[in-house]
Chain A
């Protein structure tokens, strides 16, 4: 059924699980809808006025409808207990260790995604509101020793494949939503409430970051790009960016 649903390519480690639940739910929906519709149309034809001029006061006898309703309940409880809640828990509770992961900050603003890499020292430099400016959208304090090797980009997120990624999300102004459709990742970015999200890319490719929460008149064009590369390509990119930092 997955092909019929026409979802974007599943390119992260957990995408298959999300899609599997999606397929299960849609099967349940299809079975219920076809079942109810079949009964519905049968009844409409069988009990139309001409076929059944006199209605029966008592109506349908028997308790099989209770069984159907009970069945729906059981199916829903199963979906919840065995699939949705565990899968959700894996998303929000089981964060990988930062040392084992690619860690990056993404700061949303109207209408761009500012990406902040910690650089070789693995520590993010200090940022402050006072330093905000057209060429410093993060307000990064380059005087801070941990900031010297920090790499920043706008609307370009580069990540290595097959290694967990932790994105620390925050917003400067409005509520945005950080969506990577192929990773099955979507997380609201609410100002004042920094929020991490994690996933493990399994395929290389270049796709789009789509803002999914109305954030103003430019919401429709709040589009970034993310590129999943092999570790070697990613290291080369990092080296290139670091070299650029040295040249003023």
Chain B
């Protein structure tokens, strides 16, 4: 349920960005075929209005992060795979799990419905900075806050469930350092969800009060909008929203990334036929990442007027947090050394994750140093940076996970040829979309511009890049058809396989009915002297 719903939301979020990409490539030209469908209020004659453009931008971000990637990575993979990998009969609280799903679905529906209320959906960016969001007319922003409230409830319920399940329901013999890395990643992710989300929950309630009850938590005194002094109490602080928002939203970044690293680690161990290199080091690194992710949030806010001391602190924590990320990424690359690498379809996506995530991580460096952030802040460089992490990074890992665990769910394999076409097409398109963003950003082109910067002199030299970028985005959509068709056809027609088609070691691949017990480390591949090149965790020692 999680998987299907979140894949649908990913598709919706992706379609929104295709409309944006049309507008960026051909500003002010009517969107062919579909443009008229958005209605006169949004796109008269198919021409996308700036108001509608901002709705698309805000909702693309919100849907992709909160309704697509997190529910897929945590809700779907976590709830399905974690109990299987730890040999538990189910999650500790199945009803909590169900409640979490319904809250998620309700939040998603509220978000989608908001497109159809007067004034349309929220249009203040996925970050919803006050006072813009506080003062936004229409119901869209209020619904966004309500939807976020439901989604946060969903995440909190899920997080409690994961923590309890992983602590309490591990199979006999499955000690902490025998846990598959994926379980570790979900464990830390759950703590991030549990501890970070309440901050935004509180902030959302405050903002809703500002909008509905006339309070001024985020509204300073002396505001004048459109030449008119604003009749509000004032004395609030607009910057407070940013602190509360990023206190959630930076750990959220690791919520997006850690499960992806977990999936990639599983697949690399399986397809190199050897244990992960530096498993313990990786586990410690995930701990450090989780902890540090709570004290880097203000690196999103260097240009809000930060003094030397505070900026030095957040620059330092930001540089420090790059070290455990480097350790995990290096460990995954070093795990390949000495392996017998099988280029299966999940492995292709998992391998591509490494350099793509690397680009995303490296381009975080100039953004994390306050001085170089000055010219780059709020430009397309930032957009390229986090999309490399999340799109060819996390989403590739999620594809890898789907191809890898599909036989566990359905008993059938997905088609390999279609998967390879999907892989090559997606990899090329993703890079054609996101790489030019760095060039545009360095040239100073700002993000969130309705015309893509067409009116700016300094953008002229790099503006033409928008056209190949947008066409690559449309082509990327085309290549996803191979995935969608593969998914549907394979459910019914895929090649039938036995319980352990990848010859994997972890407990989720144990034969049906076997007693679940762990006797050894998670990735005992190619053990010297063993009969096969894999020794399942559940196989008793002779």
Contact = CB atoms under 8 A, between A and B. Distances in A.
A171 to B, nearest CB: 9
Interface stretch (B86-94, B215-223, B510-518): B215-223
B198 interface: no
Contact of B371 (A5, A83, A188): A83
Contacts of B316: 80
Contacts of B277: 59-60
B485 interface: no
Contacts of B19: none
A221 B363 contact: no
Contacts of A5: 442
B461 interface: yes
Contacts of A186: 303, 374-375, 377-378
A80 B374 contact: no
B225 A8 contact: no
B462 interface: yes
Interface in B304-327: 304-308, 311-312, 315-316, 319, 322-323, 326-327
Contacts of B326: 69, 72
Contact of A69 (B54, B239, B323, B443): B323
A54 B526 contact: yes
Given A6-B462, A93-B308, A175-B129, A52 B333 contact: no
B339 A6 contact: no
A214 B124 contact: yes
Contacts of B456: 208, 210, 223
A132 B272 contact: no
Size bracket of the A interface: 35 or more
A190 B305 contact: yes
B333 A179 contact: no
Contact of A39 (B333, B444, B462, B528): B333
A28 B368 CA distance: 14
Contact of B319 (A54, A76, A91): A76
Contacts of A220: 50, 448-451, 453, 455
B521 to A, nearest CB: 11
A129 B222 contact: yes
A177 B382 CA distance: 15
Contacts of B359: 33
B375 A56 contact: no
A195 B305 contact: yes
A79 B322 CA distance: 14
Nearest to B369: A84
B34 interface: no
Interface stretch (B3-11, B139-147, B159-167, B350-358): B350-358
A72 B374 contact: no
Nearest to B366: A25
Among the interface residues B135, B378, B379, which one has the most CB atoms of the partner chain A within 10 A? B378
Contacts of A32: 358, 362
A213 to B, nearest CB: 6
A110 B227 CA distance: 9
A44 B374 CA distance: 39
B213 interface: no
A181 interface: yes
B237 interface: yes
A59 B229 contact: no
A15 B335 CA distance: 43
Interface string B446-476: 1011110101111001100000000000000
Nearest to A223: B455
Contacts of A55: 272-274, 338-340, 525-526, 533
Nearest to A61: B338
Interface in B500-530: 525-528
B228 interface: yes
Contacts of A190: 238-239, 304-305
A207 interface: yes
A68 interface: yes
Contact of A210 (B224, B278, B446): B446
A18 B224 contact: no
Contacts of B370: 84-85, 88
A191 B132 contact: no
A133 B227 CA distance: 6
Interface string A50-75: 00111111111000010011001100
B54 A217 contact: yes
B334 interface: yes
Nearest to B222: A129
B288 interface: no
Contact of B132 (A7, A40, A88, A175): A175
A245 interface: no
A29 B525 CA distance: 34
A89 interface: yes
A123 B457 CA distance: 34
A48 interface: yes
A23 to B, nearest CB: 10
B319 A6 contact: no
A215 interface: yes
7 contacts: A25-B365, A52-B340, A54-B526, A130-B229, A173-B131, A188-B304, A221-B455
Given A40-B355, A80-B369, 4 more contacts: A21-B371, A44-B351, A79-B319, A187-B303
Closest 3 CB pairs of A and B: A192-B220, A181-B444, A220-B450
Interface of A: 5-8, 17-18, 21-22, 25-26, 28-29, 32-33, 36-37, 39-40, 43-44, 47-49, 52-60, 65, 68-69, 72-73, 76-77, 79-80, 83-85, 87-89, 91-93, 109-110, 129-130, 132-134, 137, 139, 172-175, 177, 179, 181-182, 184-188, 190-193, 195, 207-208, 210-221, 223
